[in-house]
Amino acid sequence: MHAVVITILAFSGTSGAVLAYAIGLIYDSRTLVPPHWRTVAYVTAPVLCLGAVLLVATDALSLLPETRMTNQISVIGGQLQNVLSGGDVAYYQEEKVLGPGSASGIWRVVHWRKTVTTYLDGEPLQQLIGFGLGSSTRILGKLPHNEYLRMLFEEGLIGLFLFLFY
């Protein structure tokens, strides 16, 4: 049943839902798997994750059916070095070639980079206690689309630590 749900989510193009479901499934699997099989499961899960990373990092992604998610991964793989070096991404061109929504993943990576670099450019006190509640939309123009980065930006290391602790 889980494989069916993950397959449906994968073809829906909602990569966040697929990741969340997979993480929840892995977490829940510790109670589903009999004790004598847990070691096998704990070894298999990282191997499968490594396989997924290798699938994305190599040209093997072309072996999968073309979906919105595989297109997003393809765009991220092709543009990641450009984004990390601070370059611009032609979102419209990417979506024109691969279809609507294919550039949404790289858009998030660009915005996360902007959030982190703006945070790191802040004063040490701002890095410790943050730029203030609601400051991400005021300073960055939009939310970071990542709650951990939003906490770090708005509430600093102390706020992020308290958020994680809670």
| Separation of alpha carbons 131 and 126, rounded Å | 6
| Separation of alpha carbons 91 and 85, rounded Å | 17
Q: pTM surpassing 0.85?
A: no
pLDDT in tens, 21-60: 777 777 777 777 777 777 787 788 778 777 776 766 666 6
Domain boundaries, the chain: 122-165
| Separation of alpha carbons 75 and 98, rounded Å | 9
The Cβ of residue 12 has, within 10 Å, a number of other Cβ atoms equal to 13
Query: What pLDDT score does 118 carry?
Result: 94
Assess contact for 151 and 129: CB atoms under 8 A: no
Query: What pLDDT score does 85 carry?
Result: 85
pLDDT in tens, 99-143: 777 777 788 888 899 999 999 999 999 999 999 999 999 999 988
Confidence of residue 61 (pLDDT cuts 50, 70, 90): low
